[in-house]
Amino acid sequence: MKRIIKWIIIVLIVLGIGVTVFFTMNKSNEQMELMDIPQAIPFEVTQETITNSVQVKGKSKYEHETLVYAPFASKVTEWKVENGGQVKKGDVLYILDQSTLKNEIALQEATNRKAKLEAELNEFVSQQNDEETALGATEAERLKALAAQETGRLNDELNKLNADIQKQELAEKKEKLKTAVYKAPATGIFLYDSTSERPQSVTDNQYIGKIVDLNKLEFIALVGEQDIFRIKEGMKVVVKMTALKELELSGEVTKVSKFAVTAAGENNTNAVPQFEVVITLQPNEHLIGGLSLNGEIETVRKEKATVVSNIAIIREGDIAYVMLDMGNGQYERRDIEIGLETADKTEILSGLNVGDTIVLQ
């Protein structure tokens, strides 16, 4: 009897476990079925200002750099400016030795004076000979005198031409002498040429350094051919530094190159052409020349545009449509005409109204 009761208890326990497992599995299947039902994601059609832009990279450069050259070959007797020193227009930068040039001027003046006296003497002798010939004898002597007179006239013209040349040379040397005390042609920071800092002597027209206006900088960016035609002069630019990412600067496109540029050392005919875009920058205490910059050039702006999120738009070839929420769980396909597209928003030209709700299933 005890044995029968024991088996009955075992059977009841097994049946209980089976019923529990059965209901548990049914419940899990129902939950999984509910999870598998796709949920519609709603997107509202809004009215916003929509823009499109081009991303550019480049370097900052001082807009105004005045190059300084030696006016003539000479020794430098005195330097008046340090490398990186602030100068004002008219300040003396350096003084050249004037002795050699002054000697050349004095010699030239003496030579010109001598040539003038010789010309006057020749003219006097010629007049005397003409008077004697007028009283003279034979026809042959008159012909000889006439030839001598013509020769004298040609020599006078040649001497006059030489005198004009020497006069011009003398004037140029006097102008050079005025630049022996060389004054700054602009205001800014003076920077020596790195290869010839504070030379003790200079050659004619030797490059010495430059004067940089620190208040005006520009952003030189390179743009590919796919973007160059989208950029126009006057477009606004948001600029950021690589070194100070949180700092935002403002700029404006002032020049768009019409010719492709080639990077230094690049000779590959298959290289992608790039074009130079010049962007003026507003002054900032952190902005100096030679910095790496990133820019966002706003190429298109539309106010009060009807827009929707890009991911809500379905495309079939050239056709674009959305699923419009009609309410009560009813959805309707609505073909749309697309306008301006950005990274996350698309302008809707027709097919939807502001306030509509579309869904993505």
Dump the DSSP string for 135-169. T---HHHHHHHHHHHHHHHHHHHHHHHHHHHHHHH
Q: What is the CA angle 83-89-95, rounded to 5?
A: 60
8 Å CB contact between 186 and 213: yes
Q: What is the pLDDT of residue 36?
A: 45
8 Å CB contact between 220 and 278: yes
Give the number of other Cβ atoms within 10 Å of residue 82's Cβ.
Answer: 11
Q: What is the pLDDT of residue 240?
A: 92
What does the alpha-carbon distance between residue 332 and residue 321 come to, in Å, rounded to a whole number? 10
Q: What is the pLDDT of residue 243?
A: 86
Please say whether the dihedral angle defined by the alpha carbons of residues 265, 271, 275 and 279, taken in this order, is positive or negative: negative
Domain range summary for the chain, segments of one domain joined by +: 41-51+302-360, 55-63+214-301, 64-88+187-213, 98-179
Tokens, residue 319: 């056709």
| C-alpha distances in Å from residue 187, one per residue of 48, 90, 96, 140, 291 | 47, 8, 21, 75, 23
What letter does residue 84 receive in the DSSP assignment?
A: T
Q: What is the CATH number of domain 55-63+214-301?
A: 2.40.30.170
Residues contacting residue 249 through CB under 8 Å, at least 6 positions apart: 238, 239, 240, 241, 281, 282, 284, 287
Give the number of other Cβ atoms within 10 Å of residue 202's Cβ.
Answer: 21
Q: What is the pLDDT of residue 287?
A: 85
- Nearest-Å Rg of the Cα atoms of the chain is 45
Burial letters 131-157, b for 16+ CB under 10 A, else e:
eebeeeeeeeeeeebeeeeeebeeeee
Q: Closest Cα to residue 219, out of 262, 276, 280? A: 280
Average pLDDT across each block of 10 residues of the chain; the chain has 361 residues. List them in order.
Answer: 53 53 49 49 88 89 88 90 88 88 78 72 61 57 64 70 76 83 90 77 90 87 89 92 88 91 57 88 84 91 89 88 87 89 87 88 74
What's the length of the chain?
A: 361
Q: Closest Cα to residue 175, out of 71, 273, 251? A: 71
Indicate the fold that domain 41-51+302-360 takes in CATH: 2.40.420
Please say whether the dihedral angle defined by the alpha carbons of residues 174, 177, 179 and 181, taken in this order, is positive or negative: negative
Q: Is 279 exposed, middle or buried (0-12, 13-18, 19+ CB in 10 A)?
A: buried
Q: What is the pLDDT of residue 236?
A: 92
Burial letters 330-344, b for 16+ CB under 10 A, else e:
eeeeeebeebbeeee
What letter does residue 180 receive in the DSSP assignment?
A: T
